[in-house]
Amino acid sequence: MTMTSVATPAAPLPLLRPRRLAPGDTVALINPSSAIHERAPYEVAAEALRSLGLKVREAPNLRARYGQFAGTDAQRAADVNAMFADPGVHGLLALTGGSGGTRMMPLVDYELIRRNPKFIGGYSDLTALINAIHARTGLVTFHSPTGASEWNVFSVESLRAMVFDAQAATLRNPPPPDDVLASRERIQTIRGGRASGPLLGGNLAVLAAMMGSRYVPSFDGAVLFLEDINEYIYRVDRMLSTLRNAGVFDRLAGVVLGAFTNCGPGDGNYGTLTLDEVFDDYFLGLNVPVYRGAMFGHIRRKLTLPVGLPVEMDADAGTIRLLQPAVT
């Protein structure tokens, strides 16, 4: 009988930080995920990057379409590989999320990326690519706005401080206006304390789909961050159980939960557990610091998070402090 083995998380590689972006640099727009069928998002993305002083390059297959995807798996992976290989391109930004990132992970040239480290950013479905690249190369990647995101002052300042100014910043939610008590974007401490470790994570649904593959980073001693959108609570519960059953929670130093946007019980299902109860069930027993409400995920104003960088989290203060700059 032939025995097959389950892939284990990639062993941590030496940390590799990209060069900081500077005005005049060229950033390539790529689309490893879902197709976009209107012109405006392309225009918004280009204008946003130019407003940061950057030049914009469209990857060759940026506007391709294959069913719901932005081109075939081979086309989307080819754009990632080509933009990392091009010495005239200094960074890559995903146009949007959606789905499809996990399909193309085997076609990405990770050795090429390791030899040509650059900024790459995105969130949601980009969880697959930014975690796979970090796992296979050691490169710090970025859970950041996509090109089609809303480029408001808060989101831009967070990205600029980390990726342009190379600040070892402390990431926190902004205070409420006029010192009014925050009712939204509110930090909730699930279990207090501080913890240090590499920051890893992203979209829960995508991360759960990656379990068992060779593209998952090692979570030993990590600070895990999670967000999601449009999932019934029972599905959030099921995906958290996937991570727990894969052994991820056994090894964590801490947990930071972002926005779980529109994640409710569903029509007529108020007999289900609440999100509070689900998070308590999975995280209270870990005996590590955990807090909820950090401003990342499918919300207007977003923190940029460096995937793989050593950080210190404070679950009582609701902060993530970078222990070194994310870029050189």
What percent of the chain shows pLDDT beyond 90? Answer: 89
8-state DSSP, 221: T
How far apart, in Å, are the Cα atoms of 285 and each of 237, 281, 301?
15, 7, 31
Q: Is 298 a catalytic residue?
A: yes
Residue in 33, 124, 149, 155 annotated catalytic: 124
pLDDT tops 90 at residue 184: no
pLDDT tops 50 at residue 298: yes
pLDDT tops 70 at residue 106: yes
* pLDDT given for residue 309 in this prediction: 98
Query: Binning pLDDT at 50, 70 and 90, where does residue 175 land?
Result: confident
AA identity, residue 19: R
Q: Is 185 a catalytic residue?
A: no
* pLDDT given for residue 1 in this prediction: 38
Q: Choose between 261 and 10: higher pLDDT.
A: 261
Query: Binning pLDDT at 50, 70 and 90, where does residue 78 land?
Result: very high
pLDDT tops 60 at residue 49: yes
* pLDDT given for residue 182 in this prediction: 60
Mean pLDDT value across residues 187-198: 97
Residue 171 neighbours by CB under 8 Å, 6+ apart: 158, 294, 303, 305, 319, 320, 321, 322
Query: Binning pLDDT at 50, 70 and 90, where does residue 5 land?
Result: very low
Residue in 90, 134, 143, 298 annotated catalytic: 298
Query: In whole angstroms, what is the distance from residue 157 CA to residue 286 CA?
Result: 34
Phi, psi at residue 11, to the nearest 5°? -65, 145
pTM for the whole thing?
A: 0.94
Q: Is 124 a catalytic residue?
A: yes
Query: Binning pLDDT at 50, 70 and 90, where does residue 3 land?
Result: very low
pLDDT tops 60 at residue 249: yes
Query: Binning pLDDT at 50, 70 and 90, where does residue 4 land?
Result: very low
pLDDT tops 50 at residue 6: no
Query: Binning pLDDT at 50, 70 and 90, where does residue 177 land?
Result: low
Mean pLDDT value across residues 81-86: 98
Residue in 34, 134, 227, 231 annotated catalytic: 227
pLDDT tops 80 at residue 10: no
What domains can you pick out in the chain, each with its CATH number?
26-164 (3.40.50.10740), 170-176+186-322 (3.50.30.60)
Task: For the chain, give the mean pLDDT.
Answer: 94
Mean pLDDT value across residues 117-143: 98
Query: In whole angstroms, what is the distance from residue 127 CA to residue 12 CA?
Result: 18
User: Residues in the chain, how many?
Assistant: 328
* pLDDT given for residue 324 in this prediction: 98
pLDDT tops 50 at residue 292: yes
